[in-house]
Amino acid sequence: MVAETELFTKIRVNGGAPAVFPAPAAVDEAPSGEPHVQHHQSQAQVELLLHYRQMRDGLASADDPFRLAMPAYGLTPAFLAAGDLLYAAAADSMAARLAAIAAALEATEQQEAAERLARTSYAAFRRVARTIIRSAPGRLSLKLDENPPLAKEAFVQSAESALAVAQSEPYATLLASATFDAARVAETLSAIQRLAVFITARKVAAKSAKHATEARDGAMDELRVYVQQVRADVSALLRLNPHLRAPLGF
């Protein structure tokens, strides 16, 4: 996995300690080019949501003189309402990503189960076919002298083509005489085709999880910028009005 890179925004307010909000790590790409997403929620993003709530509650419960001065420094009801919308969008995007990650994990598990069944069924077909198919053309057509591909999609393609040949004559009759009749060949082919379906489903779910992660990170970035603006406005208010007390959260 590509090493994560964290970008930090540090803001000093009224001489206090810096508020540090790490930007979310970028979504990695797997070596195969398939989308890969982190499973765990960024703690920094959780803390950003908590910090926003603390700031918002602090402004709502500030002393009257402070609240009366707020509009002159950009802290208007409309500006604060816009922040609430950004907060809601960020929280919703976090929940949506969690659901998308869970769906991607479930799709991966389904694909793995389908692959185990498909490879086991196909291995059984090959073992039986090798005992009855002796001619060089037949062994070549059924791919009996080569190992099945390790890559999932290549395996599906290779197995499907071999099983299609197995359903034709003279191979269908030969296989049936060795307990691998048409129904069993069709069942094996069905297992291969189910794997193909789950491969596609996993790709779709992984792409959705990747997009959900990007959407979450975008929403968090917008909220992070908004928090910076609020802190800057409150800092200016306090510097120019030293007689006022800083609200909770600042």
Report the percentage of the chain scoring pLDDT > 70. 84
Read off the pLDDT of each residue in 149-175 and give the average, rounded to a whole number.
97
Contact 174, 133 (CB under 8 A): yes
Closest CA to 234 of 46, 58, 50, 47: 58
d(CA 242, CA 185): 84
Q: Tell me the pLDDT tens digit for each residue of 110-156.
A: 999 999 999 999 999 999 999 999 999 999 999 999 999 999 999 99
d(CA 158, CA 151): 10
Q: Tell me the pLDDT tens digit for each residue of 70-87.
A: 999 999 999 999 999 999
Alpha-carbon dihedral angle through residues 67, 71, 72, 73, given to the nearest 10 degrees: 90
Q: How far is CA 247 from the centre of its chain?
A: 38
| Confidence at residue 36, expressed as pLDDT on a 0 to 100 scale | 52
Confidence band of 41 (pLDDT split at 50, 70, 90): confident
Q: What is the pTM of this model?
A: 0.76
Q: How many CB atoms lie within 10 A of CB 30?
A: 12
What phi and psi, each to the nearest 5 degrees, are found at residue 129?
-60, -35
